[in-house]
């Protein structure tokens, strides 16, 4: 059974640009969540999607957005990139909520220069 | 809002020794998760603790949950170098699918 797949694995972007990250969940999983991991702030929740609807959102500015498609694949977008957006972005998928176990992808390492 | 605190944040131990990582959380959470992360890698699920008194063991790691004390522990027995990693505990924010993580415990096992 394939795990959670995130693409790309690494990205280097310039300040002011925008970026789109992709996440394909485990087959049959309908909930997808995104997390940002930085050395200073640790792991922080960005948002969660279920059946193409954003159900939960973390405390991030509106530059961070996401969506989920009918096949449960999800994308997150960050516009007007700042240096502080450099982080490991992790996607997690889980079966029908509530509170089921979350399985994480390998992450996308974003570097903003 | 759920807050999760781990201690210690850094742990250096010798092979063969035992130690415990503690995870305290601030509000009721009926499930507690432990993850392992190797440098530059993703999070690997170790344990899911579902109820008060739950105890799970895998190899040299044993996790337990005390919901009344709002405390989970991860006990390491006879540590080996391969256990060197960062360990996170996490719980779901009530009524949501938001996982709240502790800051992690960076474990280094020295020969």
Task: Please give the Cα distance from A27 to A22 (Å, whole number).
Answer: 15
Q: How far is CA A99 from the centre of its chain?
A: 18
When scoring A66, A102, A103 by the number of chain B Cβ atoms within 10 A, the one with the most, hence best to mutate, is: A102
What pLDDT does A1 receive? 63
Distance from CA of B7 to the nearest CA of A (A): 15
Exposed / middle / buried, residue A70 (Cβ in 10 Å: 0-12, 13-18, 19+):
exposed
**According to the model, what pLDDT value does residue B86 have?**
97
CB contact under 8 A, B42 and A105: yes
Q: Look at residues B47, B70, B101 and name the one whose alpha carbon lies nearest to residue A90.
A: B101
The band of A99, judged by pLDDT with boundaries at 50, 70 and 90, is low
pLDDT tens-digit readout, A49-69: 999 999 989 999 999 999 999
Q: How confident is the model at residue B111 (pLDDT cuts 50, 70, 90)?
A: confident
Which residue in B92, B101, B104 is closest to A99 by CB distance? B92
Cβ–Cβ gap A102/B33 under 8 Å: yes
The Cα–Cα gap between A94 and A74 comes to 13
Higher pLDDT, A99 or A8: A8
Average pLDDT over residues B12-33: 90
d(CA B98, CA B91): 8
Residues of A with CB under 8 A from a CB of B: 31, 33, 35, 42-43, 45, 48, 50, 55-56, 58, 90, 92, 94, 97-99, 101-107, 109
pLDDT of residue B30: 66
Model confidence pLDDT, tens digit, residues A5-64: 999 999 999 999 999 999 999 999 999 999 999 999 999 999 999 999 999 899 999 999
For B38-111, strand residue ranges (E) read 43-49, 55-58, 61-66, 71-76, 85-92, 99-101, 105-110
Q: What is the mean pLDDT of residues B37-66?
A: 91
Average pLDDT over residues B46-70: 91
The lowest-confidence range among B24-33, B43-52, B77-86 is: B24-33
- Per DSSP, the residues of A21-62 read EEEEPPTT--EEEEEEEETTTEEEEEEEEETTEEEEE-S--T
């Amino acid at each position: 059974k394939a795990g959670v797949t995130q693409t790309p694995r690494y990205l280097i972007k310039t300040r002011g640009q925008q970026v789109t990250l992709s996440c394909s969940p485990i087959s049959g999983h309908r909930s997808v969540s995104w997390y940002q991991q930085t050395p200073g702030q640790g792991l922080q929740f960005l948002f969660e999607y279920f059946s193409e609807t954003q159900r939960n959102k973390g405390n991030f500015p509106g530059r961070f957005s996401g969506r989920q498609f009918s096949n449960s694949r999800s994308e997150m977008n960050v516009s007007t990139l700042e240096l502080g957006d450099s982080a490991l972005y992790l996607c997690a998928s889980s079966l029908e909520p509530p509170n089921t176990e979350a399985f994480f992808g390998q992450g996308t390492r974003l570097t903003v220069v | 809002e759920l807050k999760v605190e781990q201690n210690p944040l850094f742990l250096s131990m010798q092979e063969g020794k035992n130690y415990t990582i503690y995870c305290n959380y601030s509000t009721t959470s009926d499930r507690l998760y432990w993850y392992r992360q190797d440098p530059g890698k993703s999070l690997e699920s170790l344990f899911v603790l579902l109820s008060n008194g739950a105890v799970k063991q895998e190899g040299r790691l044993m996790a337990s949950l005390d919901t009344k004390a709002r405390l989970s522990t991860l006990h390491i027995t006879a540590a080996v170098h391969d256990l060197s990693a960062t360990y996170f505990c996490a719980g779901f924010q009530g009524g949501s699918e938001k996982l709240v993580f502790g800051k992690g415990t960076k474990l280094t096992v020295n020969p």
